[in-house]
Amino acid sequence: MRAAIFKAVGEPLAIETLPDPEPGEGEAVIRVSRCGVCGTDLHSTSGHGYTLPGGSQLGHEYGGEVVAVGKGIERLKVGDRIAALPCVGCGHCEACKTGIDVLCPNMKGYGGGLAEYATVNERGVTILPSTMTLADSALVEPFSVGLRAVRLANVTPETRALVQGPGPIGLSVLFWLRQLGVRNIAVLASSTRRQSLAETMGGEHFVTEGAEAQQQINTILGGAPDVVFECAGVPGTVARAIELVRPAGTVMALGFCMVPDTIIPGMALIKDVTVRFSLIYTREDYAKCAAALDADGDRARALVTDTVDLDRMPTAFEEFRAGTGGGKLLIDPWA
Ligand SMILES: [Zn+2]
Ligand SMILES: [Zn+2]
């Protein structure tokens, strides 16, 4: 099979031919329908912060159709259409009881989705609704991230919400705010690059960062935000969220910032702000997200601005790294 391989920092991904995967115990092999490219893929191949070892396969947002099952498989059968969890925990430890498998000290990675076939673990598989298109299977992972964060924020239709940083994660938060009936939403960005994308996904009130931004946000929302979803993940944005949120409000931090950042704790203290980090999703979020994408996928699908084949993938990957890409880049390995 053909697969995208990270070689070294500064080199484009290589498309190589590897042996077709064989399912181990508790595993299945899928024919990948789509795999998304994520900011984490870009980070972990950039040389800043954690860098993947050379020779690693990439791709953790993916789904497809089961073509082979290994020993001990109880729930899955050939032909099932699934979305895969990219990290699967042991299922027994204290960390696994949180529902977030990536916290498990014995978790196993299944991050080989940028390929024609991929191995998945039965515990980490969500069987998709029969009416859902496989082309949306790669959206379950990124949209589950927004679901958990919005869930933790306990929003109501009256919540004044600010989404800071309309990248794919911010837009996934926006999708779930709309999904849960929140009407009063502003989007804050450093540029207008994603304005039309945010508007298409239900973020009509778009504010560009600057001296007037705070006043504009408060005017749009009718007051300072109850919750700021910090999805930008660059130095200064957590401090900015603390500044923008209302007294006794909540900052839900999802941005993946891997360099030191500074906040003034006293600024959060004197406003009695709750700052909460939200790591990805639980397996239950995955199932709920698949159901929502099946029922109401149009708005979510708007996030996908580019779908390319494996040959085009290394170039498209570097375009996204350079910031010239659009919303979400998907790979169709069989195109
Ligand atoms: Zn990701
Ligand atoms: Zn565990």
pLDDT in tens, 121-147: 999 999 999 999 999 999 999 999 999
Q: In the beta sheet, which residues pair with residue 29?
A: 68, 119
Domain covering 146-277, topology = Rossmann fold (3.40.50)
Can you give the pLDDT at residue 152? 97
Contact 304, 330 (CB under 8 A): yes
Query: From ligand 2's centre to the CA of 281, what distance in Å?
Result: 15
Can you give the pLDDT at residue 326? 75
Q: Which ligand is nearest to the CA of 90?
A: 2
Query: From ligand 2's centre to the CA of 104, what distance in Å?
Result: 4
Can you give the pLDDT at residue 35? 98
Q: Which ligand is nearest to the CA of 140?
A: 1
Delimit the domains of the chain by residue range.
2-127+303-331, 146-277
Can you give the pLDDT at residue 327? 87
Query: From ligand 2's centre to the CA of 62, what distance in Å?
Result: 22
Q: Which ligand is nearest to the CA of 108?
A: 2
Q: Which stretch of DSSP H or E encloses residue 288? A: helix 283-295
Query: From ligand 1's centre to the CA of 36, what distance in Å?
Result: 8
CB burial of residue 248 (10 Å; 0-12, 13-18, 19+): exposed
The beta strands (E) that lie in the chain are given as 2-6, 14-17, 27-37, 56-57, 61-69, 81-84, 87-88, 108-109, 117-121, 125-127, 160-164, 184-189, 206-208, 227-230, 250-253, 274-277, 304-308, 328-331
Please provide residue 148's backbone torsions phi and psi, each rounded to the nearest 5 degrees: -65, -45
Contact 121, 27 (CB under 8 A): yes
Write out the CATH class of domain 2-127+303-331. alpha beta
Radius of gyration (C-alpha) of the chain in whole angstroms: 20
Query: From ligand 1's centre to the CA of 233, what distance in Å?
Result: 14
Query: From ligand 2's centre to the CA of 85, what distance in Å?
Result: 14
Query: From ligand 2's centre to the CA of 106, what distance in Å?
Result: 6
Q: Which ligand is nearest to the CA of 98?
A: 2
Can you give the pLDDT at residue 142? 96
Query: From ligand 2's centre to the CA of 239, what distance in Å?
Result: 34
Q: Which ligand is nearest to the CA of 107?
A: 2
Query: From ligand 1's centre to the CA of 328, what distance in Å?
Result: 11
Query: From ligand 1's centre to the CA of 183, what distance in Å?
Result: 27
Those residues of the chain that have pLDDT short of 70 are: 325
Can you give the pLDDT at residue 143? 97
Query: From ligand 2's centre to the CA of 330, what distance in Å?
Result: 30
Query: From ligand 2's centre to the CA of 186, what distance in Å?
Result: 38
